């Protein structure tokens, strides 16, 4: 459930960005007639996409226990950007429309920056990074690489995936399976040893 909502969220945000990019560009280069035509033509799909993006975002926020400061900055950016966009496009104000677009892109980029920053600090000095950050890095890797089969809670069992909640394997055995794969589980030897250690540590938090 979480993983499919996560994907729907991601793609609806991307579509939303695409629509806004198109509209902002048209406004900036003074193609007002075309802008109005497009705005009219995509009015309903745009409403559906915006609704999907907000609704899935709220679902993810409620179901993710690890919301850091970045999440709140992201939220503020989105909620400042939306009225700016509405006013900007209504009045044909390029500055407001651009500002709103930048805010929305920034909030999308923040999640990626946060992940990259965590990875960097972890690589630089793994020993000094608190265990909280290990779990956060593990969560980031898990959402990207593992959730499609194991699901949010580790027990989705998609594609025949083993239940991580009830796994009796040791840390070493899990590390081996993640690194070299097993049966229909792919190998993840393209991840760094730190990322593998973090995702294994995260997978153990699923085990009550
Ligand atoms: C394509 C689907 C798929 C993906 C993606 C996937 N797994 Fe798996 N995983 C499986 C399957 C299938 C098994 C069972 C393998 C077997 O025993 O034959 C499994 C087994 C495991 C096990 C062994 C559990 C046990 O008790 O037997 C662990 C640990 C594990 N996966 C962790 C991960 C982690 C961590 C990731 C992400 C880095 C991941 N998996 C990504 C499908 C997947």
CATH number at residue 155: 1.10.760.10
Q: Report the C-alpha gap between 185 and 180 in whole angstroms.
A: 9
pLDDT digits (tens, 9 = 90+) for 143-165: 889 998 998 889 988 888 999 99
Closest residue (by CA) to atom 6 of ligand 1?
A: 146
User: Which atom of ligand 1 sits closest to the CA of residue 173?
Assistant: 29
Q: Which 8-state DSSP code applies to residue 144? A: I
Closest residue (by CA) to atom 7 of ligand 1?
A: 185
CB of 203 closer than 6 angstroms to any ligand 1 atom:
yes
Q: Pick from 146, 155, 159, 202 the residue to mutate for probing ligand 1's pocket: most ligand atoms within 8 Å of its CB.
A: 146
Other Cβ atoms within 10 Å of 125 Cβ, number: 8
CB of 68 closer than 6 angstroms to any ligand 1 atom:
no
Residue that is last in its domain, among 122, 150, 176 = 122
Residues 8, 91 within the same domain: yes
Report residue 62 CA to chain centroid gap: 14
The two tokens of residue 106 are 């920034």
In this prediction, residues 15-35 reach a mean pLDDT of: 89
pLDDT digits (tens, 9 = 90+) for 152-207: 889 988 888 999 999 999 999 999 999 999 998 999 999 888 889 989 989 988 87
C-alpha distances out from residue 19 to 27, 55, 116, 171, Å: 12, 18, 27, 46
128 pLDDT above the threshold of 60: no
- How big is the chain by its Cα radius of gyration, in Å? 21
Comparison of pLDDT for 110 and 74, the residue scoring more: 74
CA of 45 to the centre of ligand 1 (A): 38
Residues 153, 174 within the same domain: yes
Residues 98, 135 within the same domain: no
Residue that is last in its domain, among 87, 105, 122 = 122
Domain that holds residue 73: 2-122
| C-alpha closest to that of 205 among 135, 156, 144, 134 | 135
**Which residues, at least 6 apart from 13, have a Cβ–Cβ distance to it below 8 Å?**
53, 57, 108
| Residue 40 exposed, middle or buried by CB count within 10 Å (0-12, 13-18, 19+) | exposed
Residues 114, 129 within the same domain: no
Residues 179, 108 within the same domain: no
Q: pTM for the complete prediction?
A: 0.53
72 pLDDT above the threshold of 90: no
Residues 5-37 as b or e (16 or more Cβ within 10 Å = b): bbebbeebbebbeebbeebbebbeeeeeeebee
| Start-to-end Cα distance in the chain | 20
């Amino acid at each position: 459930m979480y993983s499919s909502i996560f994907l729907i969220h991601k793609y609806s945000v991307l579509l939303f960005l695409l629509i806004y990019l198109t509209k902002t560009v048209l406004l900036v280069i003074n193609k007002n007639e075309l802008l109005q035509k497009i705005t009219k033509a995509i009015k309903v799909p745009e409403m559906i996409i915006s609704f999907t993006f907000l609704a899935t975002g709220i679902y993810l926020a409620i179901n993710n226990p690890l919301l850091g400061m970045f999440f709140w900055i992201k939220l503020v950016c989105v909620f400042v950007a939306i009225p700016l966009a509405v006013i900007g496009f209504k009045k044909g104000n390029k500055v407001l429309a651009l500002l709103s677009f930048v805010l929305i892109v920034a909030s999308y980029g923040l999640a990626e920056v946060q992940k990259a920053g965590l990875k960097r600090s972890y690589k630089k000095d793994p020993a000094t990074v608190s265990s909280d950050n290990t779990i956060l890095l593990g969560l980031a890797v898990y959402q990207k690489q593992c959730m499609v089969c194991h699901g949010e809670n580790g027990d989705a069992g998609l594609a025949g995936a083993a239940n991580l909640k009830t796994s009796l394997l040791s840390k070493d055995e899990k590390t081996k399976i993640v690194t070299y794969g097993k049966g229909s589980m792919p190998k993840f030897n393209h991840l760094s040893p730190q990322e593998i250690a973090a995702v294994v540590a995260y997978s153990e938090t699923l085990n009550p």
